[in-house]
């Protein structure tokens, strides 16, 4: 886990520095739109911190995770020239956001009292970590990581759209088409994974609430069928791949395979590595057979042979 944290810090500092010094400088229009997005991210981080501290519910950023990328996308579209490429990108991000918002809502993530709702179960375990669980440690963790880091990260993985602002606009081509097909396919697979997991959990808790004898596959406690037979976190895999695929649009817009907006996707991937590892530590403690599942099925990348 500590190596994930180190890589996050290195990526957040080194990649933007190298990119800024060796990539083409941003145009005045790109800077203007980027600054607007930064102000929005700062306002979001501030709001999340205040609401979480006052309500003692630290999943406020989760409620905005699926909403804010679409906000950034349409802001960039409105301020950045309203090009066909931007319209396609904003539309795909919106479809992604609708799916994730629905999935989060049905799990109890939202409440009419916006500061309430289901809190991420992992925070209970994070508070058991030395220093982090202290008052000062938790204050800093909420301020730096939960509130502001994630606010800027959400903005970060939508940044390929910035490079579509004030560039020589080419027609949508093969790279764009590839990105569209990839993202649409990944959204479908992610939806399938969510539905399979939701159906499993619904039936498991129906059996528990009805006080019926527990039987397999529900007795195991976690899903191992469907897409989960190929990798342990198919939804996490799709999530990372979606934002890596969005980066393809920046390649189409600039003609450059590597550019500074790759930072957002890289940081997201590293975050999912750490989140996945931490989630699995909890699962292995909770479910006796989880280690057997880990030994047989890859975490993210399915085995082809």
pLDDT for 79 equals 94
In the chain, % of residues over pLDDT 70: 91
pLDDT for 9 equals 61
pLDDT surpassing 70 at residue 172: yes
pLDDT for 18 equals 61
The full length of the chain comes to: 305
Q: Comparing 88-102, 107-121, 225-239, 269-283, which segment has the lowest mean pLDDT?
A: 107-121
More confident residue, 122 or 66: 66
- In angstroms, the Cα distances linking 140 to 38, 154, 158, 211 are 21, 20, 26, 43
How many CB atoms are closer than 10 A to CB 231? 18
pLDDT surpassing 60 at residue 4: no
* pLDDT-derived band at 119, boundaries 50, 70, 90: confident
Tokens representing 197 are 């997991």
pLDDT surpassing 80 at residue 206: yes
pLDDT for 237 equals 95
Query: What are the DSSP calls for 22-69, one per residue?
Result: HSPPPPHHHHHHHHHHHHHHHHHHHHHHHHHHHHT---HHHHHHTTHH
**What is the C-alpha separation between 119 and 96, in angstroms, rounded?**
22
For residues 235 and 197, is the Cβ–Cβ distance under 8 A?
Answer: yes
pLDDT for 202 equals 94
Query: Structure pTM?
Result: 0.90
């Amino acid at each position: 886990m500590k190596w994930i944290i180190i890589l996050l810090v290195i990526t957040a500092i080194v990649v933007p520095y190298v990119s800024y010094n060796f990539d083409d400088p941003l145009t005045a229009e790109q800077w203007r739109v980027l600054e607007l997005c930064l102000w929005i991210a700062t306002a979001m981080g501030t709001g999340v911190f205040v609401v979480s501290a006052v309500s003692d519910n630290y999943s406020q950023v989760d409620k905005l995770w699926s909403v804010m990328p679409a906000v950034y996308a349409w802001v960039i579209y409105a301020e950045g020239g309203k090009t066909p490429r931007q319209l396609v990108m904003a539309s795909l991000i919106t479809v992604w956001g609708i799916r994730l918002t629905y999935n989060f809502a049905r799990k109890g993530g939202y409440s009419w009292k916006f500061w309430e709702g289901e809190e991420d179960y992992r925070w209970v375990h994070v508070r058991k970590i030395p220093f982090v669980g202290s008052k000062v440690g938790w204050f800093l963790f909420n301020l730096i990581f939960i509130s502001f880091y994630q606010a800027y990260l959400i903005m970060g993985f939508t940044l390929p759209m910035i490079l579509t602002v004030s560039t020589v606009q080419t027609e949508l081509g093969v790279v764009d088409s590839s990105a569209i097909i990839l993202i649409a396919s990944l959204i479908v697979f992610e939806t399938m994974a969510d539905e399979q997991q939701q159906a499993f959990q619904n039936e498991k808790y129906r059996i528990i609430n009805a006080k019926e004898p527990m039987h397999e596959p529900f007795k195991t406690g976690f899903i191992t069928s469907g897409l989960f037979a190929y990798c342990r976190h198919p939804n996490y895999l799709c999530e990372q791949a979606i934002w890596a695929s969005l980066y393809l649009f920046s390649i189409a817009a600039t003609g450059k395979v590597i550019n500074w907006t790759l930072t957002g996707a890289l940081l997201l991937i590293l975050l999912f590595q750490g989140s996945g590892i931490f989630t699995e530590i909890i699962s292995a403690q909770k479910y006796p057979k989880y280690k057997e599942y880990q030994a047989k099925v890859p975490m993210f990348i399915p085995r082809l042979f």
